[in-house]
């Protein structure tokens, strides 16, 4: 009985984690060795990120300060968007497998804005 209960709890936790993190987990596995994915950490400066990943394909100013850089990751002929968001002081505060625009839309939807 204990094992069945534990299995149900783990399955529920996994589903809850997936629903709160709408990015495809396969992307994390596929692109984990790309320098932007592997090396960029929260708190890094924009200059350091650009030194690692090069110039972004697009950059936008965020409504509440800060900027967001879009990159395109390439692997085996497939392209994957990846964003790196910077706070008003120019330090990484978020990153992930979508465009800056998609990230902002998701954030607004989550906060009911």
Q: What averages of pLDDT result for each successive group of 10 residues across the chain (113 residues)?
A: 53 45 72 94 97 96 94 92 97 96 88 70
The CA distance from 30 to 13, in Å, is 23
Residue 89 lies in a domain: yes
Residue 12 lies in a domain: no
Q: Which domain holds residue 65?
A: 21-110
The CA distance from 10 to 79, in Å, is 33
Query: What is this structure's pTM?
Result: 0.75
Which pair of structure tokens corresponds to residue 12?
A: 């529920």
**What Å distances lie between residue 102 and 2, 9, 20, 34, CA to CA?**
41, 31, 15, 21
User: For residues 107 and 93, is the Cβ–Cβ distance under 8 A?
Assistant: no
**Number of compact structural domains in the chain:** 1
The CA distance from 90 to 71, in Å, is 17
């Amino acid at each position: 009985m204990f094992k069945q209960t534990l299995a149900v709890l783990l399955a529920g936790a996994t589903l809850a984690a997936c629903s709160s993190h709408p990015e495809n987990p396969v992307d994390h596995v596929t692109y984990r060795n790309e320098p932007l994915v592997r090396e960029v950490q929260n708190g890094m400066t924009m200059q350091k990120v650009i030194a690692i990943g090069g110039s972004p394909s697009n950059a936008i100013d965020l409504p509440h300060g800060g900027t967001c850089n879009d990159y395109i990751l390439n692997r085996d002929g497939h392209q994957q968007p990846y964003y790196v968001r910077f706070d008003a002081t120019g330090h990484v505060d978020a990153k992930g497998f979508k465009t800056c625009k998609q990230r902002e839309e998701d954030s607004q939807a989550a906060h009911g804005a």
